[in-house]
Chain A
């Protein structure tokens, strides 16, 4: 069980709003939603932190990888180049606990500019 003392004004507003939205069992339901939201946000921050490092490393070793592994899939995770293979499935097991990995086929080009279409044009 978790016990925490909140600032009084925050607690009063929380209880009032939770009661309005959830009725009976309001505190428990509102706390569950709040914790789930917080966890999602923190998970996203952790992914972004790993992504930043992995992208930096990719740019540092990109030329070398293109030279040594043409047309191979490569994986970078935890800030390290971990391996290369003919298929991405062959690399699925690498860094299994990582939240973010870079996976890319070396030497393959992709369109840099996307035509958005009407659905996104006015985003």
Chain B
């Protein structure tokens, strides 16, 4: 028998994404209202945040060691060394608060959700409807 579900949807006519807030381990939210963050299923980790946000949230206070932090390689062979720190991703109205490792790198301006975060949820990419929906089971 199918579970009862409800959907939380965000209008995403151009880019598919979810409305989230980032919360530091000190309880600071990155902004008062959720921000629509684009989904990139090619990105293997949980969340990539702009360097300025990493610095504004003072995430260096919870930073993983350089020798533990990951790296990536671009098509041109440039190696990207990530700065990483744990944060919570909050989705208001859903009771979702997921602890993940946030990544950034020098001069990064991109804000992306990746597969490691998506793996925890059921998400509908509604192309014709121009929206992205989070599917939640009703207890």
Q: Which residues of A are at the interface with B, using a C-beta cutoff of 8 A?
A: 40, 43-44, 47, 51, 54-55, 58-59, 62, 88-89, 92, 98-104, 110-123
Known: A44-B55, A118-B42. A51 touches B25 (CB 8 A): no
* Contact of A123 with B62 at beta-carbon distance under 8 Å, contacts A88-B25, A88-B86, A118-B42 already known: no
Q: Which residue of B lies closest to A88 (CB)?
A: B25
Q: Say whether, besides A100-B60, A102-B63, A123-B80, A110 and B68 are in contact (CB < 8 Å).
A: yes
Any chain A CB within 8 A of the CB of B137?
no
B: interface residue count bin: 35 or more
In Å, the complex CA distance between A50 and B70 comes to 20
The answer to whether B78 and A123 have CB atoms under 8 Å apart is yes
Contacts of B86 in A (CB 8 A): 88, 103
- Give the residues in chain A near B66, CB-CB below 8 Å: 51, 55
A115 touches B61 (CB 8 A): no
Does residue B132 face the partner (Cβ distance < 8 Å to A)? Answer: no
B58's closest neighbor in chain A, by CB? A99
Contact A102 B65 (CB under 8 A): yes
B71 within 8 A of A: yes
B41 CB within 8 Å of chain A? yes
| Chain B interface residues toward A at CB < 8 A | 25-26, 38, 40-45, 48, 55, 58, 60-76, 78, 80, 82, 84-86, 101, 103, 108, 110, 112, 114
- In the assembled complex, which residues on chain B have CB atoms less than 8 Å from the CB atom of A101? 60-63
Complex A-B, nearest 8 residue pairs according to Cβ-Cβ distance, in ascending order: A117-B42, A117-B43, A115-B44, A114-B72, A117-B40, A116-B72, A100-B60, A103-B62
A115-B42, A117-B40, A120-B43 known; 12 new pairs, CB 8 Å cut-off, are A44-B55, A51-B63, A59-B67, A100-B63, A102-B64, A110-B64, A112-B70, A113-B72, A114-B44, A116-B72, A119-B112, A121-B75
Shortest Cβ gap from A70 to chain B (Å): 15
How far is the CB of A69 from the nearest CB of chain B, in Å?
Answer: 14
Q: Which residue of B lies closest to A87 (CB)?
A: B25
- Asked if residues B80 and A58 are in contact (CB atoms below 8 Å), the reply is no
Indicate the member of B65, B75, B86, B108 with the most A CB atoms within 10 Å.
B65
Closest to A52 in B: B66
Could you pull out 16 A-B pairs where Cβ atoms are within 8 angstroms? A51-B66, A59-B67, A100-B63, A103-B85, A110-B69, A110-B101, A112-B71, A113-B71, A114-B43, A115-B72, A116-B42, A116-B73, A116-B80, A117-B42, A117-B44, A120-B80
List of B residues within 8 angstroms of A58 by Cβ: 65, 67
